[in-house]
Amino acid sequence: MSQVFVRRLLLSAAVIAFAVPAAAQDAPATAASTQPEADDTAPDDAIIVTARRREEQSQDIPLAISVVGGEQLDNTGAFNVGRLQQLTPTVQYYSSNPRNTSLSIRGIGAPFGLTNDGFEQGVGIYVDDIYYSRVASATFDFLDVAQIEVLRGPQGTLYGKNTTAGAINIQTNQPSFTPEGRIEATIGNLGFKQVKAALSGPLSDNVAARLALSGTSRRGTLFNVATGTYINEQDNIGLRGQVLWQAGDTLDLTLSGDYSTQNPECCGTVYVRTGATQRPLYRQYEALAAAQGYAPPSRDPFDRLTDVDADLSARNEIGGVGLRAVWDLGDGTLTSATAWRFWDWGPANDRDFTGLPITTRSQNPSQQNQYTQELRYNYSAGNVDAVLGLFGFHQTVRTQGTESLGSAASRWLLNPGNVQVGSSGCATPTTLACDPTVLDGVVAYNDIRLDNTSAALFGQVSWEVTPGLTLQPGVRLNWDKKNGLYERLVFDGADNPVLFRDAQGIPITNPRTVARRDALTPQRIEPSFSDWNFSYDFTASYQIAPEVLGYATYARSFKTGGINLNGVPNDSQGNPLIAVGAIRPETVDHYEAGLKTELPGRLGVFNLAAFRTDVGDYQALVNAGQVSTTRGYLANAEKVRTQGLEADITVQPSDRFRAYANAAYTDAKYVRFTGAPCPPELSGGGSGTPVAAPGTPGNSPASCDISGQRIAGVSKWSLSYGAEANVPVNLLGQPGEVYLGFDGNFRSRFSSNPSPSAYTWIDGYSLANFRLGFRTDEGANLFVWVRNAFDEEFFELLSVAPGSTGLIAGQPGDPRTFGLTLAHNF
């Protein structure tokens, strides 16, 4: 760990420590709780979870789980999943735009890179029992959240949609028959404004309703010199309504509806660096840019200047309607969750990452509808608890894409042969690379479709064999079917189709047509996949002492097969390689052991977990490096392994002080991946032998063996930690407490490219957040906050520009921000 990180951690600890002595003087004996209680027998400070689809104390379940309450989310500014990862170090979240969002737990879940609609997520997102299939939902503000549970490891025998890496179980505040409400308003630098409100109460003796809304806006953090505007802004609006009908003494029906929208000018990047590739030197970034008189607006990425010249948009709408019925049958409870959800995505991107008119338009707007039905029976009697469930899922995705090239595309993308464009200029106008009309105006239209259906039967039994010893087997039977279409039609600047063959079937070898096909390749495939799968798990737990629970788990899980919906490579005759249209399911062997300990005197908790997950046929992203030949297609890596240790500790000696620390060591690597995409230093050259040394012009390998390399996006070390201390005061006649809080996190370095590259390692960084406020006994709360208090300069993502030019672009993380929040519960 860096010395800077250690110094900042010590400074942050000192600030909190200064407040502790005063805070501890009048401490009552019992710790306070902000969590709901499951029943009257639960201790006042118990954290109640529904991870196993029934209410239990989190310390009583043999499962690695992190719980974040709604109050902590509000206090720390963690208003979406992206910020949640700062509180839960086992979560990895990356987003170049809402659609291209990757969410993983313990290093697995989704391949790092451009999203492909034809595969499943390994991390399930559930909101009040409703499955959210689009990971884009992770970019929206949390709406009226009561609690978030992050479950680590496979959860297929408990949750409707199979999840191999874990699940994020979000519980919202429910309608109440006692009138209540909450309002919160925040202002900050960069024009930050956020409003949250919720109101709940009875409509009749047996009907209650709840309405919540949120809105967030903030000026962008990058300045685009090409348009004179700030980009990568925040612009979120969300609305959620619920109606609860107590239809009888044993039947509750809850109808819910939600709608959220984003419409920021997003998502641009900044110049970070260049790295040598195997292209001829005069075809790499520096020479190409000099030949066209181009220079980035700044070579210091933390000047936060860009000049991307294509339209930017990240319009994103998501919502739906759900009906949940809960029927108490005495020894058991029958739950039905029915839902329809939609997702509408309207993007525009600059895929060349420069201010040159290379790719002038890149967008793939999509519309999704999903329908889910889950029936679940929970049984509890004596020493047996059981869950039996049925789940059905149907999803349709329709995408209409457009990509077009501009006047700088020919010189940037095409091979000029013996003419060294970068050094001596275009010697003859007959050279294709010197003729802008070859690629200028070439356009591709994409039609992408997915019909995805799955059904499952799942169940789990928890049997206390003897006092303290519990055995928990679980099974799942799953069926999946996917049908897809990927069709790309390409036209030149005169609106003539670009084809591989003419009407008589004769191959077209005209050099201009060949050049256009290389840049934007026409293709049509109709991939499909269908299969059954059986999986299972087994957990044994033992109450070693009244405050110590030990457990061990083995799970044989899977992630269903997928289909490629971003295109696949063509052979030399222009025929798509149908064999890679579908990918095999992942097979998962998961091992875990843990201890859950309550500290003496109910001082707090200390939990440990050790795990190992072996994944066969890991679904990875492969990208050939061209600008638009394929956006990246899926393939199976032979084997991936992730293993590590996790520790979580929370101490709360009194109402006046609370502290926590969570640590994760994650060793995630490709055990065997022999056909992986090559990093930029081994890309861009010709084909043949011998292969040139990395970063040396010459021949490049068709693929690379990255066996033993680390999986992208995973830090070996991740930490989150914090504390809050308060003292009772009477301010302006209002009794309450003044409090000081700190939350920090640290991540060690990680790779930001699917195949590790010397050019795309992101250095480790630490972030520190502080808050100082006053809250009254009547529910008012006023506090000032500062996030990234030490103004750490860090990257969220680095991206390799298409075309093997050596350009590396990036997304800087947020600078220091500060503001004021006023909230009131009533």
Nearest to 552 by CA among 604, 594, 586, 582: 594
- Provide the percentage of residues in the chain whose pLDDT is more than 70: 91
- Provide the percentage of residues in the chain whose pLDDT is more than 90: 73
Among 12-21, 463-472, 690-699, 758-767, where is mean pLDDT lowest?
Answer: 12-21
What total number of domains does the chain contain?
1
Q: Residue 330: how many CB atoms within 10 A of its CB?
A: 8
* Choice between 420 and 353, residue whose per-residue pLDDT is larger: 353
Is residue 725 in a domain?
yes
What integer best gives the mean pLDDT of the chain?
A: 89
Rounded to an integer, the average pLDDT of 473-486 is 96
Which pLDDT score is estimated for 101? 84
Q: Which residue has the tokens 């026409």?
A: 522
Is residue 569 in a domain?
no
Which pLDDT score is estimated for 572? 74
Which amino acid, 604? G
Is residue 750 in a domain?
yes
Is residue 553 in a domain?
yes
Over residues 774-822, the pLDDT tens digits come to: 999 999 999 999 999 999 999 999 999 988 999 999 999 999 999 999 9
The 3-class SS string of 420-455 reads CHHHHCCCCCCCHHHCCCCCCCCEEEEEEEEEEEEE
Backbone angles phi, psi at 560, to 5 degrees: -60, 160
Which pLDDT score is estimated for 14? 44
Q: Cis ω on the peptide bond leading into residue 704 (within 30° of 0)?
A: no
pLDDT band for position 76 (50/70/90)? confident
Cα 779 to Cα 22, 142, 184, 648, distances in angstroms: 23, 21, 11, 30
Rounded to an integer, the average pLDDT of 124-136 is 89
The two three-digit tokens of residue 273, written as one number: 């660096």
Helix (H, G, I), strand (E, B) or coil at 75: helix
Q: Which residue has the tokens 């392994």?
A: 641
Which pLDDT score is estimated for 463? 96
Rounded to an integer, the average pLDDT of 219-229 is 96
Helix (H, G, I), strand (E, B) or coil at 58: helix
For Cα atoms 328, 334, 338, give the angle at the middle one, nearest 5 degrees: 125
The two three-digit tokens of residue 655, written as one number: 């109402």
Rounded to an integer, the average pLDDT of 445-459 is 96
Which pLDDT score is estimated for 15? 42
pLDDT at 5 over 70: no
Q: Residue 415: how many CB atoms within 10 A of its CB?
A: 15
Is residue 282 in a domain?
yes
Rounded Cα–Cα distance for residues 679 and 671 (Å): 18
Over residues 716-749, the pLDDT tens digits come to: 999 999 999 999 999 888 999 999 999 999 999 9
pLDDT at 12 over 50: no
Give 67's DSSP letter: E
Which pLDDT score is estimated for 507? 92
Which pLDDT score is estimated for 78? 76
Is residue 478 in a domain?
yes
Is residue 121 in a domain?
yes
Pairing of strands 523-525, 443-466: unpaired
Per-residue exposure over 302-323, b if at least 16 CB sit within 10 Å of its own CB, e if not? bebbbbbbbebbbbbbbbbbbe
Which amino acid, 555? A
> With contact defined as beta carbons under 8 Å apart, do 131 and 13 qualify?
no
pLDDT band for position 429 (50/70/90)? low
Which pLDDT score is estimated for 573? 80
Rounded Cα–Cα distance for residues 169 and 171 (Å): 7
Question: What CATH code is carried by the domain that includes residue 85?
Answer: 2.40.170.20
Which pLDDT score is estimated for 747? 96
pLDDT band for position 86 (50/70/90)? confident
The 3-class SS string of 539-572 reads EEEEEEECCEEEEEEEEEEEECCEECCCCCCECC
Rounded to an integer, the average pLDDT of 377-402 is 95
Over residues 483-502, the pLDDT tens digits come to: 999 999 999 999 999 999 99
The two three-digit tokens of residue 148, written as one number: 């978030």
Over residues 193-216, the pLDDT tens digits come to: 999 999 999 999 999 999 999 999
> With contact defined as beta carbons under 8 Å apart, do 652 and 604 qualify?
yes
Hey, CA dihedral for 220, 95, 805, 521, is it positive or negative?
Answer: negative
Can you count the helices (H) and strands (E) in the chain?
7, 45
Is residue 437 in a domain?
yes
Domain residues for 765? Answer: 3-564+575-825
Over residues 658-679, the pLDDT tens digits come to: 999 999 999 999 999 998 889 9
The two three-digit tokens of residue 749, written as one number: 């370095």
Q: Which residue has the tokens 């004179």?
A: 228
Question: Which residues, at least 6 apart from 151, have a Cβ–Cβ distance to it below 8 Å?
Answer: 51, 63, 64, 65, 166, 167, 168, 169
Over residues 138-193, the pLDDT tens digits come to: 778 888 999 999 999 999 898 888 889 999 999 999 999 999 999 999 999 999 99
Rounded Cα–Cα distance for residues 418 and 416 (Å): 6
pLDDT band for position 414 (50/70/90)? confident
Rounded Cα–Cα distance for residues 76 and 82 (Å): 13
Which pLDDT score is estimated for 539? 97
Which pLDDT score is estimated for 114? 66
pLDDT at 627 over 80: no
